Amino acid sequence: MSPAQRILARFLADRPALAALAVLVALTMAALGAPWLAQDPEALDLAAMLTAPSWDHPLGTDELGRDVLARLLHGGRVSLAVAGATAGLAALLGTLIGLLSGTLGGRVDAGLMRLTDGVMALPLLPLLIVLAAIDPAKLGLSAEALNSEGFAIGRIVVIVALVGWTQVARLVRAETLSVQARDHVRAARAIGAGPVRVMLRHILPDVASPVIVATTLSVGHVILIESALSFLGLGVRPPLASWGNMLTGAVGTVASAPTLALWPGLAILVTVLAVNRAGDGLQRALDQRSRD
């Protein structure tokens, strides 16, 4: 068996991880297919506010008589897109900086690590608040672009990724340093392998697992950050639905309409659980040392 096949086999043997992946795929498909699967999430009916589940509205309606299922699916599109894009962007930035820092050492390392320290030392929430309040029109974007849904999402992705890459960078650097001290890397160096080759063949595979753990966790983390920003009135803004702003909106009336808070809360919980469990499985499958 090739290493890839072995990894796949190990992953397939991990039932809970497989189930989590299935849940995740189903959620993603449902979110992607929202425009075809669900009704118009913005169509409202003031005469049918806060109704119980029915054939027309499988999860009932919200405080404006909109279909909760439709909003949940469309909100999922936004939340998953934000989380995936942010975690991916942050991991990419972090890995690159961590690898460079760890392998090149010297002044590059010192400079990059001071940058990392600086960004990491920035108090996350207050900084996000400042960034979210900045007027994007000052950055020279056209009014058309500012009003698109893509911008609303992209803004949060960039803001969170800009401050979110540091953990990965540090983990990767630490791991790189540790790996470099190991015999097989030193041996590779001794027989004349170039730095790029060492980086790709020996270090990258070894740092992959901490990156995966961190990225998995950060996917969930970003969904939570988005909901926290929504709570402060700075997240994805209505009428665009996200799980975060649906939950925030529902919390005020949780005593009289508990299911409104239940569904987005459950969606966040299940998604983050599934992402984490699937990532965990992947980590185990990738990590050869734990089984061989």
Partner 1 sequence: MIRLLALLSLLLLAAPARAKDDLVIGITQYPVTLHPGIESMLAKTYVLAMARRPLTAYGPDWKLICMLCETLPTIDNKLAVPEKTADGKQGVALTYTLRADSVWADGTPVSTDDVLFTWEVGRHPQSGIANAELYRRILKIEAKDKRTFVLHLDRLTFDYNAINDFALLPAHVEKKRFQAAPAEYRNRTAYDQDSANPGLYNGPYRITQAVQGSHIVLEPNSHWKGTKAAFARIVVKTVENTPALEANLLSGGIDMIPGELGLPLDQAIAFAKRADPRFAITYKSSLVYEHLDANLSVPMLTDLRLRQALMYATDRAAISKQLFDGRQPVAHTAVNPLDGVHADDVPKYSFDPAKAARLLDEAGWTLQGNLRRNAKGEPLYIELATTAGNRTRELVAQVLQAQWKKLGIDLRIRTEPPRVLFGQTLTQRRFPGLVMYAWYSAPESVPRTTLHSSQIPAEANAWAGQNYPGYKNPRMDQLLDAIEVELDRPKRVELWRQLQHLYAEELPALPLFFRADTFILPKALKGVTPTGHQDPSTLWIETWRWG
Partner 2 sequence: MGVILARLGQSAVVLLVMSFVIYGLMGLMPGDPIDLMIAADPHLTAADAVRLKALYGLDRPWTERYLRWLAQIGRGELGYSRLFARPVLDILAPAVANTALLMVASLALALMVALPLGIWAASRPGGWIDRAANLLAFVSVSVPTFWLGLMLMVLFAVQLGWLPAGGMHSLDDGGGGLVDRLRHLVLPTLTLAIAGTGQYIRHMRAAMLEQAGLDYIRTAIAKGCGPTRVLLHHQLRNAAIPVTTIVALEVGGLFSGALITETVFAWPGMGRLIFEAVMGNDFNLALSGLLLATAMTLAGSILADLAYAWLDPRVRRR
- Minimum CB distance to partner 1 smaller for 54 or for 148: 148
What distance lies between CA 88 and its chain's CA centroid?
Answer: 7
162 touching partner 1, by CB under 8 A: no
Q: Which long-range contacts (CB under 8 A, 24 or more apart) does 204-207 make?
A: 204/99, 206/175, 206/179, 207/95, 207/98, 207/99, 207/171, 207/172, 207/175, 207/176, 207/179
Rounded Cα gap, residues 274 and 282, in angstroms: 12
Q: How far apart are CA 69 and CA 37, in angstroms?
A: 10
Q: Among residues 6, 7, 23, 63, which is the contact residue for partner 1, using CB under 8 A? A: 63
Among 124, 152, 162, 193, binds partner 2 (CB under 8 A): 124
Report the candidate in 216, 270, 283, 217 with the shortest Cα–Cα distance to residue 243: 270
Binding of partner 1 at residue 139 (CB under 8 A)?
no
Residue 38 or 272 having the CB closest to partner 2 = 272
Phi, psi (degrees; rounded to nearest 5) at 61: -120, 165
Residue 231 is a binding residue for partner 2 (CB under 8 A): yes
Q: What pairs with residue 250 in β-bridges?
A: none
Min dist CB 39 to partner 1, Å, is 13
Q: Residue 204 interacts with partner 1 (CB under 8 A)?
A: no
Determine if 259 is a binding residue for partner 2 (CB under 8 A): no
Residue 52 contacts which entry, partner 2, partner 1, none (Cβ below 5-8 A, type-dependent): none
Among 1, 4, 47, 52, binds partner 1 (CB under 8 A): 47
Q: Which of 1, 181, 255, 289 binds partner 1 (CB under 8 A)?
A: 255
- In sequence order, what are the beta bridge partners of 67? 61
- Do the beta carbons of residue 52 and residue 46 sit within 8 Å? no
The tokens describing 124, both together, are: 């996350």
The rounded distance, in Å, linking the Cα atoms of 210 and 202 is 15
Question: CB under 5 to 8 A by kind: which of partner 2, partner 1, none does 64 bind?
Answer: partner 1
Say which entry of partner 2, partner 1, none residue 54 contacts (CB below 5 to 8 A, set by partner kind): none
Would you count residue 193 as binding partner 2 (CB under 8 A)?
A: no
| The two three-digit tokens of residue 257, written as one number | 């309409």
Reported as half-sphere exposure (CB side, CA atoms, 13 A), residue 33 has a value of: 7
The reply on whether position 239 binds partner 1 by CB under 8 A is: yes
For 185-221, b where at least 16 C-beta lie within 10 A, e where not — what string? beebeeeebeeeebbeebbbebbbbbbbbbbbbbbbb
* Residue from 40, 56, 117, 149 in contact with partner 2 (CB under 8 A): 117
**What does the binding site for partner 2 look like in residue numbers (CB under 8 A)?**
114, 117-118, 120-127, 129-131, 133-135, 138, 167, 170-171, 174, 177-178, 181, 213, 217, 220-221, 224, 227-228, 231-232, 244, 247-248, 251, 254-255, 261, 265, 268-269, 272-273, 276-277, 280, 287, 289-290
| Residues near partner 1 (CB under 8 A) | 42-44, 46-47, 49, 63-64, 132-133, 135, 143, 146-147, 232-234, 237-239, 249, 251-257
